[in-house]
Structure 1
Amino acid sequence: MLAEMDRTGAFRRDTIVIQTSAGTGWITDWSVCAYEFLTGGNCATVSMQYSYLPSAVSYVMDRDSPILASRELIEAVLGRIDQMPADDRPKVYVAGESLGGYGIAASFDDLDDLLTRTDGAVFSGSPRFTRLVRELTAARDAGTPERLPVVDGGRHVRFVAHPDHLRRNHSGVNYPHRWRHPRAVIAQHASDPIVWWNLRLVWQRPDWLTEPGSRGVRAPRGQRLDVVHGMRWVPFITAWQVGLDQLTSLHVPGGHGHNYHDEMLWYWDAVLGDHAAVRMTDEIASRAREFIVTDSVRR
């Protein structure tokens, strides 16, 4: 792998993004195309296949391989970069969707380790058993919801379901702290069953079903929660419903379910910051969206 990076000149690029794939080697084109566009192509993506099994099978049968593969990949790439002159090193970011996000996140001890060793991260649709996401959610600021937790006032990490949440929290209020680099974005749609299913749903009502936007609870004006208001918790039944929803979670428009599409442009724009060659505007987002869709169809 390092030999291939040497051959292709990957270490001479200004930006390296380490991604862990999902299932048989798939990584989301929306994420890759977003930072390729924003860096003007001055980037390299590094990934490796960890299994020949489809994601659904790995999800149930093999949760160790994504972590082992991610750790080996990260250690190898960061080890080589540490040997480079300090003033001539590329920026290094990590990213992953679904089991890919799970594998990358589990490769770091905690948020501090992630922020110390990388220049930023974008995770999307990570399953509920992702340790880092679970720990950050549990340590969320008082009064903030499980669905969109605020951690340390939004100082380094921000949970988002829509690009609006990069600037404002779950209530549409500005974060109390300026967003500092390195930045981490954790994207999770309220309608993504991959994110919200876990075994505890069988016997325990989750916080996200009693929060604003849930049954009988009005969401703040302007809040984008993507919630079915009639949903409620019933022992066994809710776990069964959310579990079955995973089978069709990709058969929905982008921005819903397990589809994280053009919103990735804004997430990567926020994480790259001044390191980006192109800064996002609504007009650029519209033009880039057309380019990415066309390119994705062509491939």
Structure 2
Amino acid sequence: MPKTRALNNFSVLSLLVGLLLAAASLTPSLVPRSTVFQGVLMGASAALGYLVTRFFLALWRALEIKVLTGRPASVALGLLAVPVLAVLAFCVADARGWQNTIRSRMGLPDLEAVSTVKILVIAVGVFILLFLIGYLIQLLFLVLRDRLARYIPASSANVLGLLLSAVLVVIATRDGAVNWFLRVADSSYAAAQHLTDPNRPAPETDWQPGGPQSLISWDLMGKPGRDFVMSGPSRADIEAFSGRPAKEPLRIYVGLAQDTDPQRRAEVALAEMIRVGAFERKVLVVASPTGTGWMDPASYDALEYMHQGDIATVGAQYSYLQSPLALIFEYDSGLAQATALMHVVYEHWVSLPPEQRPRLYMHGISLGAWSSMYAFNVFQMMNEPVDGALWVGPPFPSTLWNQANAAREPGSPFVLPEVDDGQVIRYASQFAKPERSGKPWGRIRVLFLQYASDPIVFYSASALWREPVWMGEPAAPDVSPSLSFTPIVTQLQLTMDLLASTTPPPGYGHTYHVHDYIDAWVSVTAPEGWSAQDSTRLKAICGQEGALGCANAT
């Protein structure tokens, strides 16, 4: 019976490989892992090691190649178990210390002493659950193999049964469970974003999007858009900070529900910009939000203080999903929306007399950075380029970011490259300011703000089998010096890091600090009359008491 054969075919060798990967999973990666995350990672690593080894053993037997049996096999396994268990014991003993090497760098308290025990309990539970799933998959293989063996030779039935069961599992996972989860997540985020806060009614002024004369529907703007439009520093806040006359900053935002067509949403945004006078401001920013449509107040609040409110910012939503999910499932939506919006804005901007145009900048955070980069059409803008761009936490697949990295000067670190003396492209982090070289900018100013501990930026698909470039370099100040590479495990660790990328405090991981935005925007936009003392004063009143931005900072 297939059931009996599956139960009696437990593989000690596969378990030992699984334990080895489980031990390696305890080593640190880019962001701190909670007890639950580490437990899940450890259990999943053990299960994956068991599964991969079983797969190759099954393939080995399917090809009818001889294997060790009896006493020689038992002796070999016993000899192998000693170093494996020793490595596991060493890693378990050091697990808490490894995690604390990251936590201390990020200003987080050390893990409690019992955290390792909790991790082991969770890991065992996860392994058992995944083992049972694997057992069911093995039953599927045995059934398919036995059915096929009635019609084809046994060796062919083994191979074909293995391949068919693998295909069925992939189809069930990708087209079944994953799609179901995606639909549930998408509908949940969509429902949440359509909930109108009764304490935040539509604007009553005509110049604000969603107001009485607006071309943008307040109810269809979504919560991220409504928060963006109605927050930020007022003219009074800016005047109180600078002591000079200021304007009310313009914020234009089109929600995903406004129209199903990204081109139509872009056209509505342009019409609203023209209506409220966005092109009459000194500075114009075309921004691409994160996956959910969120516009980071830490960035936009600071920028509006710098330019005395004489600034307009426009954005259009393209997804309801969190950026890690949108990065996998809906990245093309962001690319299409950013391209459509940038195209219509640029075409109108370039049609204006040069002396009447605002300075034009591109901006994006997280998945919005990738989308904004994608919309950077060098052929369209070659003759009359934009003034600059600030791209924050650029996701690892971003083509322009990868091209810039490939052009870095020999010897410059992968996490903080130097490109052509920094005339056009520069990189900055919380430990490296944009102006650190002291060299002048060129005609266009493009700045990548990225943290070495940000897995959205430094995730690597090839980490399944190959050490990422940045792992072979000296660790940055926010990265644990104990970080090391292990095939398969490192890929799992970075995947877990993606899911936990925003859990570190501001200034680490994928959570960017307002102070770093201030330095970045000063460098990119060169505010008129702005001094280093102004930056210091703004930093002193921004991001206090857990606040993300600078609204009402005074």
Matched residue pairs, number? 281
Write out aligned runs for 1:1-299 (5 A).
1-109=269-377, 117-162=385-430, 164-168=432-436, 174=437, 177-213=439-475, 225-262=477-514, 263-273=516-526, 275-276=527-528, 278-281=530-533, 283-289=536-542, 293=547
TM-score between both structures, scaled by the size of structure 1: 0.86
Question: Could you say which residue in structure 1 is the equivalent of 2:104?
Answer: none
By how many angstroms is 1:287 displaced?
3.4
By how many angstroms is 1:114 displaced?
7.9
TM superposition outliers: structure 1 runs of 4+ over 4 Å: 109-116, 294-298
Q: Following the alignment from structure 2 to structure 1, what is the Cα–Cα distance between the partners of residues 373 and 387?
A: 14
Compared CA separation, residues 68 and 276, structure 1 to 2 (3 A)? farther
Task: Choose 1 or 2 for highest CA Rg.
Answer: 2
Alpha-carbon deviations, 1:114-155, whole Å to 9, x = none?
A: 895211111111110000000110111111111111000211
AA matched with 2:520: Y
By how many angstroms is 1:37 displaced?
0.9
Could you say what secondary structure the match of 2:542 adopts? helix
AA matched with 1:67: L
By how many angstroms is 1:198 displaced?
2.5
Q: Following the alignment from structure 2 to structure 1, what is the Cα–Cα distance between the partners of residues 379 and 473?
A: 26
**Larger fraction in helix:** 2
* Contact 1:204/1:235 (<8 A) preserved: yes
* Contact 2:273/2:279 (<8 A) preserved: yes
Percent of paired sites with the same residue: 31
Higher relative contact order (CA 8 A, sep 6+): 1
By how many angstroms is 1:163 displaced?
6.0
* Contact 2:428/2:447 (<8 A) preserved: yes
TM-score between both structures, scaled by the size of structure 2: 0.48
* Contact 1:269/1:279 (<8 A) preserved: no
Q: Following the alignment from structure 2 to structure 1, what is the Cα–Cα distance between the partners of residues 480 and 423?
A: 31
Compared CA separation, residues 239 and 294, structure 1 to 2 (3 A)? closer
Compared CA separation, residues 230 and 150, structure 1 to 2 (3 A)? same
Runs of 5+ consecutive residues of structure 2 not aligned to the other structure: 1-268
By how many angstroms is 1:255 displaced?
1.2
Q: Is the deviation greater in 56-65 or in 258-267? A: 56-65
Compared CA separation, residues 40 and 80, structure 1 to 2 (3 A)? same
AA matched with 1:150: E
Compared CA separation, residues 277 and 19, structure 1 to 2 (3 A)? farther
